[in-house]
Structure 1
């Protein structure tokens, strides 16, 4: 008589052979808190020996969270966000998680809608990357969705946001921007102008605040420094550069508050025959990979974008606490060919 076909191993089989409860086996395989590393290692070894593979769809049907993280970014094609996503995805894979990525184009209503959709899919964690808003009311709906998600056991982490009640990774925007401005001031520039992003974003406020503090520390009036508020894009940088050249022709240095805008600034200066850095110095912010390949190579403030993604996912794996954690990041000044003393 033929034997029964070999059936796929189940979680109960792993738990029985490892000598633990099903709950402990589940937590161990999902890399969740509450299981010692010795026990978790034994469970993983047994699962590997039996050929057990978790079925996240079955877990969803059972009403529990999955080992899937939702990542919200403004635009996945933006190098800033793609580098953050790389850190999130790589770390998630190391812990046996997968990542669902959505982009929202800096629309808080779209963010809230995506969070609702992720909650419906019972993701185990949600990470929101990108600037918050100066007015907390603009992200009130997002705050309600994340609060509800956490109240039902989900883990939420944000990157670069101040007002939401969850763990956060906070880039050092103000100090990094100050370091760029100080570099230009040390070169001898006194006629600075800023190409900033939208004024309602916290990131813009923080970075512009760092520039203004550095200018004030040199005894200059920051209110005399022109600021062009434009979209946080290459095309925004082009519009900002054109505005500054037309309204403030004596400017000797332009600080773009992200590298994408800096590429737009450089393109306008090149089209108009303005030599960089002989006539105008240009700086960026973030140090995306392409910054070093521009002509001239871009002086910029470096943020550890991939590491920010790693830190956010690692926070998502930790148990919640009554007071949300705040993890600051480092920054660095990268001096390249786009800056020089004023003529």
Structure 2
């Protein structure tokens, strides 16, 4: 009779048995930069012995690396939205003496998972995922498995924007921003709207459109007052959406683009079609990347502190000395609570591209 292989005990199981976080269990067993109290260390060691835990060489390598490395995964490195967030994140990484490896997925959920897996195999201590999440259940299951394996060997991770996954996250107020756009346009007198949206499987798109539509509903207007056109979440997508609206007989007096790059594409297409902004159609984007104020006309948007979002996300994933103090029992304060959610407000900034509707 052949003996069945013994199931490998994970660090997460040891941590659960000792009543601590995986990161604390890793420090207690393998060492690290932060000190674990004697009582807590004894509890973890006792649990490891009881479960016959065998230390993982990969986990030890993570704990003993002299210089931290962070794998930063984003949708598109050429997009000013992601460039601004990355700049803020890398400022904090440099202050911590950490190295940052970049990965651009071009909004492919499969490629995002591949990058996380690759950064894990390269023993990055932390992984930061920047950009919209995907609502696909298969993606969520696969990404959750990758991140939990990273966590189980003492790695850390965090998100910028919604990912519908457990973990620390910086969350721009996308739904509230979309609602604020609708209310601003309503106050100007608009009653017929078009929305240039990206794929609805992206949670950022879903939340921004939902916020906009909910504010229109609250104003008592019929759902037919909003015409949503779904295209790529890109400059070309904005161009295609604007062309489709004009070809279909433009009825709206205001166009809301769910990102600034889509608004830039839409502005180009409207100019090509002879549609005057804002005389024929008011236009507003979302994110307020720096170029928006320099377009002709200067284009309205929803302002987010993009660099601030990047800085805060990197603080979450590396640990901010001002908020990651050690507790009396040796465990860190941040690990003793639920995953942290840092919300960033969204503020409508009206410029020359948005005005009261004119009679046509």
Indicate the TM-score class for this superposition, using the shorter chain for normalisation: 0.7 to 0.9
Deviates more, 1:154-163 or 1:137-146: 137-146
Q: 8 Å contact 2:135–2:201 — kept in the other structure?
A: yes
Alignment of 1:258-269 (within 5 A): 258-269=259-270
Deviation, 1:63, is 6.2
- Counterpart of 1:20 in structure 2 is none
3-state SS, counterpart of residue 203 of structure 1: helix
| Structure 2 residue runs without a partner (length 5+) | 1-27, 37-59, 320-333
- Kindly provide the CA deviation profile for residues 185-229 of structure 1, in whole angstroms up to 9, marking residues without a partner as x: 111111101000111111111000110011112110234411011
Q: 8 Å contact 1:280–1:342 — kept in the other structure?
A: yes
- Kindly provide the CA deviation profile for residues 283-321 of structure 1, in whole angstroms up to 9, marking residues without a partner as x: 000001111111111100011111111111111123545
- Relative to 1, partners in 2 of residues 1:261 and 1:63: Cα closer, same or farther, differing over 3 Å? same
Alignment of 1:242-261 (within 5 A): 242-261=243-262
- Kindly provide the CA deviation profile for residues 110-144 of structure 1, in whole angstroms up to 9, marking residues without a partner as x: 11111111111111110000111223333321111
- Counterpart of 1:276 in structure 2 is 277
- Kindly provide the CA deviation profile for residues 30-74 of structure 1, in whole angstroms up to 9, marking residues without a partner as x: xx5549xxxxxxxxxxxxxxxxxxxxxxx9599648411110001
- Relative to 1, partners in 2 of residues 1:212 and 1:65: Cα closer, same or farther, differing over 3 Å? farther
- Counterpart of 1:47 in structure 2 is none
3-state SS, counterpart of residue 77 of structure 1: coil
- Kindly provide the CA deviation profile for residues 60-91 of structure 1, in whole angstroms up to 9, marking residues without a partner as x: 59964841111000111100100010011001
Q: CA separation in 2, counterparts of 1:190 and 1:62? A: 58
Q: CA separation in 2, counterparts of 1:219 and 1:142? A: 40
| Structure 1 residue runs without a partner (length 5+) | 1-22, 36-58
Aligned pair count reads: 292
- Kindly provide the CA deviation profile for residues 228-255 of structure 1, in whole angstroms up to 9, marking residues without a partner as x: 1100111100110111122242211110
Q: CA separation in 1, counterparts of 2:221 and 2:62? A: 63
- Counterpart of 1:327 in structure 2 is 342
Deviation, 1:182, is 1.1
- Counterpart of 1:236 in structure 2 is 237
- Counterpart of 1:154 in structure 2 is 155
3-state SS, counterpart of residue 239 of structure 2: helix
Q: CA RMSD in A?
A: 2.0
- Counterpart of 2:301 in structure 1 is 300
Q: 8 Å contact 1:147–1:165 — kept in the other structure?
A: no
Deviates more, 1:317-326 or 1:68-77: 317-326
3-state SS, counterpart of residue 70 of structure 1: strand
- Counterpart of 1:174 in structure 2 is 175
Q: CA separation in 2, counterparts of 1:335 and 1:62? A: 49
Deviation, 1:161, is 2.1
* TM-score (ref. length: structure 1): 0.81
Alignment of 1:74-89 (within 5 A): 74-89=75-90
**Quick check: 1:338 aligned with 2:339?**
no
Alignment of 1:134-149 (within 5 A): 134-149=135-150
Deviates more, 1:133-142 or 1:222-231: 133-142
- Relative to 1, partners in 2 of residues 1:124 and 1:60: Cα closer, same or farther, differing over 3 Å? same
Q: CA separation in 2, counterparts of 1:223 and 1:326? A: 35
Q: CA separation in 1, counterparts of 2:75 and 2:91? A: 20
